[in-house]
Structure 1
Amino acid sequence: MLRLPRLVLLALLTVYIVWGSTYFAIHVALASFPPFLLMGTRFLVAGTLLFGWLKWRGVKNPTLMQWRDAGVIGVLLMGGGMGLTAVAQQYVSSGLTAVFIACSPMILSLCVGMFGDWPNKREWTGILSGFVGAVLLASSGDFSAQPIGIVALLGAVCCWDIGSVLSQRKLSVAPGAMGFASEMLMGGVFLTIVALLKGESFSAPMTVPALLAWAYLVMAGSLLAFTAYMYLLSAVPPALASSYAYVNPLIAVTLGVFLGGEKIGAREVVAMCIILGSVLLLTMSRARASSSLELKEAV
């Protein structure tokens, strides 16, 4: 991975580590926040902070067309992807959630392939082995679920992947961070409207852990990791950008061991090795592709 450009490596590590811990943060925050209000306020605040900072630096506003495209992407990524994930976590065990999220790189690669950019053999090997590792890691936990949770998870994965593809292949948002800010703002508005239509309210007592978890989701999960993910979509192959889906369960288990006093067995160790091997394949494929491109340009 050290052969990757420094900014790409930093973005990958950010998405791996931060998003690997956000599922626990969502679980903590749901004790005081209803799901759509949790996600809506999270992205509204994050988008407002980023937008305000950019305006203070003199960045111009997006055009009407760019706001429209940001609305489509924001509804798919934040509204469908994150909103439905929060709903699903009320009905689906963490093990089954990890398996569904691990399907994301395969679905994303298939969506991108429809535009003529199919993964190579090395990337397909990394995608499939990463999925196997994620299933093996999650299989030691509970796979209980209610049908509504399964539907919500499937919808979340499809919305996230379709939004990811459209953001780079079809739709045009404002360049740089202003595009990220507009997407979070539009997604946050959509989620808040859905919450109000559903009659959600802050009926549960607001606890300090829930409030801290919400703040972590705003600052780290949205401002930091989401921006890093959108950068990766524009800089590396989709298979590598979406490899967080394999690494996140690994990060979650590691955090549980060091912070929660949990224990891991041989199955978890084997699963982690498979996941790390899949990420290695994906990064090696990216490095080889970059080397080939540099050689062609030199010729």
Structure 2
Amino acid sequence: MTSPAVDPAPETHPAATELRTAASPAPAARRITGAVWVGLGIVYVVWGSTYLGIRVVVETMPPFLSAGARFVTAGLILMAVVAWRRGPAALKVSRRELASAAVVGLLLLVGGNGLVVLAETSIPSGLAALLVAVVPAWVVLLKAAFGDWPSAGGTAGVLLGLAGLGVLTLPGLSGEIAIGGVVLVVVGALLWALGSFSAGRIPMPASPFTASAYEMVAGGLAGLAVGLFRGEQHGLDLTAVSGRSWAALAYLVVFGSLVAFTAYAWLIQTAPISLVATYAYVNPVVAVALGALILDEALTWSIMLGGAIVVLGVGLIVSTERRG
């Protein structure tokens, strides 16, 4: 979740990465290598499972405090790893880069992830994941606003995704689920897309791993502040937190944040952002399956039909990006 780059050098040479701003010329086409597909696979599967993890965490933990603790912990661990592997100098950034990373962290982790965590206190994890499928549509609209118009295939894929999203919102409109939770996820998806898009147009740290660390710490601290402001600390008894909630939080720290978040950070500096955004179509398949198998979440006709439509949409977008 860092700044997209122009023809990035290998990650082992982050200083060679050319960052672009909104006023920069259009970037050259990025190669879609085998490493990109491995990174996408990690984001697809691991982030798909995090919706289940979040749902288990909020069973006995407050939403923003647990999410804030997750990202502060993960961010500090990532800082330690970066300093160990590359030396403390690798964490050195300018004030503008630090401020940019903080802004992106707020958009992604407080606005995007935080609202999804809050929503999962009232709606099923699989449905939350499916509703996040709106992210690619917002990304395409943001890109179009800056003159980067999508291809016909990309447009068709996004329209299919939005059609599937419309089907998925029917339970909320009919009163079968909490409409407030649906709205929270949709707003969170918009903020996540804005954070991902903005990262390519502001001065970010050259290394995606350094940027990820600062984003997670900034977003995590802000999440803790939001939790305290909401009064989530009142009545909180850590001894009453279930063992499976602790285990789920640990899983989110290690896999959801350190592994998948960092893979995403590398991807949006390396691969086309429209391709990276397709994780929002694939994650729901994993999330719905896990929610049904482990939490006995219902597989309604709207979930099945809407899910099928968005998966078709991702096929169109991925094939279009591969040709580009």
What TM-score range do you get, normalising by the shorter chain?
0.7 to 0.9
Pair 1:194-2:229 in alignment = no
Match of 1:227 among 237, 241, 262: 262
CA spacing shift, 1:152–1:257, aligned 2, 3 Å: closer
- Check whether the contact 2:45–2:283 (CA below 8 A) recurs between aligned residues: yes
Alpha-carbon deviations, 1:195-227, whole Å to 9, x = none?
222222233612110001001111111111112
Residues 1:284 and 2:319 are matched in the alignment? yes
**In structure 2, C-alpha distance between the alignment counterparts of 1:232 and 1:152, rounded to whole Å:** 26
The answer to which structure has the higher helix fraction is: 1
1:144 aligned onto 2:177:
yes
Does the residue aligned with 1:118 lie in a helix, a strand or coil? coil
Q: In the alignment, residue 128 of structure 1 is paired with which amino acid?
A: L
Cα deviation, residue 190, structure 1: 0.8
Deviations along 1:222-273, whole A, 9 cap, x unmatched?
Answer: 1111122222222333332111222122112333566567896988776655
Match of 1:21 in 2: 49
Distance 1:285 1:131, change over 3 A: same
Judging changes above 3 Å, is the alpha-carbon distance between structure 1 residues 23 and 113 closer, same or farther for their aligned structure 2 residues?
A: same
CA contact (8 A) 2:168 2:303 kept: yes
- Indicate conservation of the 8 Å contact 1:137/1:249, yes or no: no
Describe the shift of the 1:250–1:140 C-alpha distance in structure 2 as closer, same or farther (beyond 3 A).
Answer: farther
Alignment of 1:55-204 (within 5 A): 55-57=83-85, 58=87, 59-94=90-125, 97-133=128-164, 143-147=176-180, 149-201=181-233, 202-203=236-237
TM-superposed CA distance for 1:134, in Å, is 5.4
Aligned to 1:296: none
Number of the residue aligned with 1:213: 248
Indicate the RMSD between aligned Cα atoms, in angstroms. 2.8
**Cα 1:278–1:184 shift into 2, 3 Å:** same
Query: How far apart are 1:140 and its partner, in Å?
Result: 8.2
**C-alpha contact (below 8 Å) 1:119/1:239 kept by paired residues:** no
Structure 1 residues 92 and 180: alpha-carbon distance in aligned structure 2, compared to 1, 3 A threshold = same
Q: TM-score, normalised by structure 2?
A: 0.78
Q: Is the 8 A contact 2:78 2:213 kept in 1?
A: yes
Q: CA deviation at 1:99?
A: 4.8
Residue identity in the other structure for 1:245: A
User: Please, which moves more after superposition, 180-189 or 222-231?
Assistant: 222-231
Shift of 1:286: 1.6
Query: Would the alpha carbon gap of residues 272 and 103 (structure 1) be closer, same or farther in structure 2, given more than 3 Å must change?
Result: closer
Structure 2 gap ranges (5+): 1-30
| Number of equivalenced pairs | 286
Report deviation, 1:104: 1.3
3-state DSSP of counterpart to 1:90? coil
Deviation at 1:138, TM superposition (A): 7.6
Q: Distance in 1 between matches of 2:304 and 2:226?
A: 41
Map of 1:251 onto structure 2: 286
After superposing the two structures, state which structure 1 stretch, 261-270 or 100-109, moved more: 261-270
TM-aligned CA distance change 1:51 to 1:282, over 3 Å: same
State the 1:67 CA deviation.
1.2
Cα separation, 1, equivalents of 2:128 and 2:92 = 38
Moved more, 248-257 or 216-225: 248-257
8 A contact 2:64–2:114 mirrored in 1: yes
**1:267 and 1:105 mapped to 2: Cα distance?**
20
Instruction: Report if aligned partners of 1:134, 1:249 keep a CA contact under 8 Å in 2.
Output: no
**126 and 179 in structure 1: CA distance in 2 versus 1, 3 angstrom threshold:** same
Q: Which stretch shifts more, 200-209 or 11-20?
A: 200-209
Identity %: 36
TM-score scaled by length of structure 1: 0.84
